[in-house]
């Protein structure tokens, strides 16, 4: 079983920054797709960024492109999400996800494994 654990959430002022981390264990990720998602109360879980663990193209949601950046620490099986210029509307629970795939995966329902989520609150 693949296990994913998010960390790094918290309270931040508008315009501030946070870096989220997602540590994976239980399986190698050479043929996996991964993504970061968020879900605010009463809203659908939305894609923020999708990658392939082995590298290649990266897809960002329009709402975060230019502000959020994904990175990978392959020896530690960890992915990070650097979030800059945060806005109150970024407030949500943030999740990392993974699934076996040789292509990018952009829909939440297509992911097999999920972390527990980490709360990000941007105060107004």
Kindly report, residue by residue over 40-87, the tens digit of the pLDDT.
999 999 999 999 988 888 999 999 999 999 999 988 999 999 999 999
Contact 109, 49 (CB under 8 A): no
Which among 85, 84, 88, 106 is positioned nearest to 97, based on CA atoms? 106
pLDDT of residue 14: 98
Residue-wise pLDDT for 25-34, tens only, equals: 876 677 899 9
CB 83 within 8 A of CB 17: yes
What is the average per-residue pLDDT within 14-33?
Answer: 90
Q: Give the mean pLDDT of 2-13.
A: 96
Q: Quote the radius of gyration of the chain (alpha carbons, Å).
A: 13
Tokens encoding 84: 């800059």
Spatial CA neighbour of 50 closest among 37, 35, 63: 35
Rounded to the nearest integer, the mean pLDDT of the chain is 94
């Amino acid at each position: 079983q693949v296990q994913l654990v998010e960390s790094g959430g918290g309270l931040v002022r508008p315009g501030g920054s946070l870096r989220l981390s997602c540590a994976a264990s239980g399986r190698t990720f050479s043929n996996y797709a991964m993504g970061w998602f968020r879900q605010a109360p009463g809203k659908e879980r939305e894609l923020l960024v999708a990658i392939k663990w082995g590298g290649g193209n990266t897809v960002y949601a329009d709402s975060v492109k230019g502000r959020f950046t994904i990175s990978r620490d392959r020896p530690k099986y960890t992915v990070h999400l650097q979030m800059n210029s945060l806005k109150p509307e970024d407030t949500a629970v943030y999740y990392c996800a993974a699934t076996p795939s040789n292509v990018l995966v952009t829909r939440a329902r297509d992911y097999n494994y999920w972390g527990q989520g980490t709360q990000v609150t941007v105060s107004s």
